[in-house]
Chain A
């Protein structure tokens, strides 16, 4: 690590000020991504602004919506009775992120701000049509994800909360990368009041994306068989040492079917 100044503001306003005043300042949530980056000297922040004292670690089920504070760790989401009741698929997704240590530290806000193309949460947020609240505004999920590691967030903007509408049913099926166990292909399907939404993470060249063909087919019939014969364009898929684009395209179909079968 390079030397940096550490700040732990006690209010959102102070945090925003610390981040806004200095382009080299960076927010710290669970540190599961950020700390390794610092250790490898891949980032040289002037100030590290710790978001853990802003009161953003909470889960609320109110007015037909599930509200999760940005600093809520995955483990809390996985264990929450409210989440299990409202969107069991989300609890299950959170419970399969990384390992116990990662789930204890890593946060939903950190995951969404980072927008790793292999992260699990982006698929849930996109498929469920969640709203991302920040210290500046509310961002609709369809506007939020803008390609791998890229989001609609302005420099210094802080995610404060994620608001999930409650779906009729939903499920997440993850094919884990054998080494990292991030999603090599993760498919989140949700049957919502506004229709069926299918979001795919891990597989695409541009990060998480909605699968229009699957959505159309599932809107007609929310069954695994409805997806038979619908191909996922190989050209849009990632390829690396763990799998070809064709393999990923195939897995998108397999995982989508499994998610539809498991949806509740």
Chain B
């Protein structure tokens, strides 16, 4: 009955304003009396700040104030929201992350001073007049260099540059598995460092109301309440009721806008000092050297197999680059968001993983679309392919042999997680069929006839999202709860405003959530508004990341709507003089079961606000409910991705020919939006696999620090992507939804690399690290010829 409800591909409401240039982004906002900030940043990777001389700069035209690290000694450091303990039980080393550099600079981009001026240009002019005396110190950028004996220390308190040395799993069981193995396959892998590059650079305005004493921070955030909590409670000591954080339209985040950044605290604090609003917008160069980067792991994996190809045990050792400071959720990424996923879709009985987190003189590294799960999936799906080859088994067969069967759910993995539902054989078979896997040999021959090397690659994956049960997350080190909040306000005429703690920065929440409410309450889609991104309006919330908005935020809405319906039933029972147990709510109508008596949702809403004939003794007027929903478990989307590539052996260029995905994301609300999310994630995955790489030189300078050298995927790098679904429902949330935001970025990179390695099967190539650039592929092909000649 509800045309715009669950399952309809409703066009995105928000696109009208986005596509017509009427979005309201932070940089579009201007406050009366506004000033502008410019951050003077370190251009050396590591150095001792002997002196920051601002005396000349203060005299420059238009300068309002200049702040340096010394001004922030009385406030807290930028906090980390997740604490990991090392194997020996000691907490991770958590060095102070000052708002502005104090004593030392630790990466290129580290802020040294903030100039506040009447115009942006004046702020930049004055920044150039600041005289810096920096004594350059030896720096470390890469993991290997940072862990080498006698390496320069990023923080004096972190010996050996180690933040923590953590492990998970049953080591003895793994050793036992290895002892009885028929074969042990070993693989070294690098998960390449990435720059998030959201289209909208970060921006913020700090504002202070002298009369009320209230601070407002407008910021490009995926989770304004989290920023309010972290900045208010830990950095600036501003109580919640005096601090409002607004994250209006936000142009993409991909994780990089989850975190609390130093600029936000500096601007808010300084607005209170200069008593005027202060605005800052990063340029692209600043984004490259200040937005938290992603990935950057080095791993060694060992898989033990029996003679039939069953997986017996898996052992993984990972080094994870944290950068110069701990970003908000950085410690969780290589540990509880990655190592716990090493079972993948397989029934491997014993798993043990060790993770060393390492400080380096680079931009902090934190969650980036998929956060930890792409790293685990890449490792696993690569080693499974290598194992198949070295066991002389078919890649399809080895997977089928080891899948967790659908009868086994709920399935307890050997490393903490309990998968609630899934059918890996269904997504696998569906994808093999959709990709015409059976017909590949003919296509390979056709390519060979043109002198091209064709390869096909499979990846089967599961991820954990819908973050997260608060108690579980807390036990694992989270310093916050991870529930979600919905407040549903039914207006007297029956229209609805939903206040959600989730935040939309491209995901289309204003449409999807309205569909959910429309379905549940029977109210037309255009009579529903979704409000998000303002702590002054939304009661509370933890924001959007970890593919949690629908499964956690949507579930909170369902809970709030249940309360609305319950109350509506009481009002309806009163109006129709029936027992409340005889009232049924369906398709927007409250009716008395077995009769033709009914009241519309609108009539009930009006009655709630005009309570002339109303059970006023038992029931309050009004129709507005709030629900906090704390999930019982993570959700576990999974599926299969298949990539087909063609390599030009003359140049090493890898062309994506096709990409096929069949995913299980639980219940789908809007298929069009879901398809877009999957495609976007896959585009990012292809970017990681073939194109993107943040490269530091040994001294700590970012070589790929602009679009001239950092290869963002372009439309013509991405093939047509076929997206299919094989749904099993999540068993523990009221919607049955699992989450879709990250699956594309998680499942796709190994599919692409498996295809590349397959294409190079005649060149003795066992593994290719990402990105598979033309230069890298050509070098592999070139290196092979001499051997052939020698034979």
Contacts and interface: CB of A to CB of B under 8 A. Distances in A.
Interface stretch (A52-60, A69-77, A242-250): A242-250
A179 interface: yes
Given A41-B124, A242-B709, A179 B774 contact: no
A241 B703 contact: yes
A64 interface: no
The CB with the most chain B CB atoms within 10 A, among A175, A179, A246, A254, is that of A179
A262 to B, nearest CB: 14
Contacts of B121: 1, 3
B763 interface: no
A251 interface: yes
A250 B778 contact: yes
Interface in A31-55: 40-41
Nearest to B707: A179
B706 to A, nearest CB: 9
Interface in A223-250: 241-244, 246-247, 250
Nearest to A179: B711
A239 to B, nearest CB: 10
A40 B285 CA distance: 9
Main secondary structure of the interface of A (DSSP, over half): loop
B710 A247 contact: no
B650 A254 contact: yes
A242 B692 CA distance: 11
Contacts of A250: 778, 782
Interface in B392-434: none
B689 to A, nearest CB: 13
A242 B650 CA distance: 16
Contacts of B470: none
A247 B774 CA distance: 9
B704 interface: yes
Contacts of B693: 241
Contact of B775 (A2, A3, A243, A254): A243
B711 A247 contact: no
Contacts of B704: 179, 241
Nearest to B128: A41
A180 interface: yes
Contacts of B695: 241
A178 B285 contact: no
Interface string A1-25: 1110000000000000000000000
B708 A180 contact: yes
Nearest to B650: A254
A250 B777 CA distance: 13
A228 to B, nearest CB: 13
B691 interface: yes
B779 interface: yes
B778 A247 contact: yes
Given A241-B703, A241-B704, A247 B779 contact: yes
B773 interface: yes
B651 interface: yes
A41 B651 CA distance: 37
Nearest to B652: A247
B116 to A, nearest CB: 19
Interface in A174-212: 175, 178-180
B712 to A, nearest CB: 8
Interface string B637-657: 000000000000011100000
Nearest to B714: A181
B203 to A, nearest CB: 17
Contacts of A179: 691, 704, 707-712
Given A243-B773, A243-B775, A251-B651, 19 more contacts: A175-B651, A175-B774, A178-B691, A178-B711, A178-B774, A179-B708, A179-B710, A180-B707, A180-B708, A241-B693, A241-B703, A241-B709, A242-B709, A243-B774, A244-B775, A244-B779, A246-B782, A254-B650, A254-B651
